[in-house]
């Protein structure tokens, strides 16, 4: 059972925390694996760059230059949790360097 929105009382949020919310730090290992599977091709790097670009508007939304802890799994993928999660920022920076390095 997937819960696509992280909201409501404490119990509802606890139920949603690992059952439908999006953890942006996981995009780092996903992109690394994607690039490896696709041979680090130009097309794969382009697709990975596109995924990262989707975070650009968020960098000015919650905390300047930060990535939130989690996002709703359902559209419009509202940021939730703490406004600045170090491992989310670190993983997106790491794969940006991998893509463009």
Query: What are the tens digits of pLDDT across the range 58-79?
Result: 999 888 999 999 999 999 999 9
The pLDDT, as a whole number, for residue 15 is 85
The pLDDT, as a whole number, for residue 1 is 67
Residue 32 CA to its chain's centroid (Å): 14
Pull the structure tokens for residue 47.
């697709």
Can you tell me the mean pLDDT for 29-38? 98
Q: Measure the CA–CA gap between 41 and 20, rounded to whole angstroms.
A: 31
Residue 67: closest CA among 40, 96, 32, 36 = 96
Dump pLDDT digits (tens) for 35-63: 999 999 999 999 999 999 999 999 998 88
Helix (H, G, I), strand (E, B) or coil at 35: helix
Residue 95 — very low, low, confident or very high, per pLDDT cuts 50/70/90? very high
The pLDDT, as a whole number, for residue 18 is 84
Q: Measure the CA–CA gap between 78 and 100, rounded to whole angstroms.
A: 28
């Amino acid at each position: 059972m997937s819960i696509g929105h992280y909201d409501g009382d404490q119990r509802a949020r606890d139920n949603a925390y690992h059952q439908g919310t999006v953890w942006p730090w996981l995009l780092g290992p996903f992109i690394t694996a994607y690039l490896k599977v696709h041979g680090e091709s130009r097309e794969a790097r382009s697709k990975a760059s596109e995924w990262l670009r989707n975070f650009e508007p968020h960098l000015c939304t919650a905390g300047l230059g930060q990535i939130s802890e989690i996002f709703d799994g359902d559209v419009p993928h509202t940021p939730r949790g703490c406004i600045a999660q170090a491992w989310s920022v670190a993983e997106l920076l790491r794969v940006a360097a991998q893509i463009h390095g």
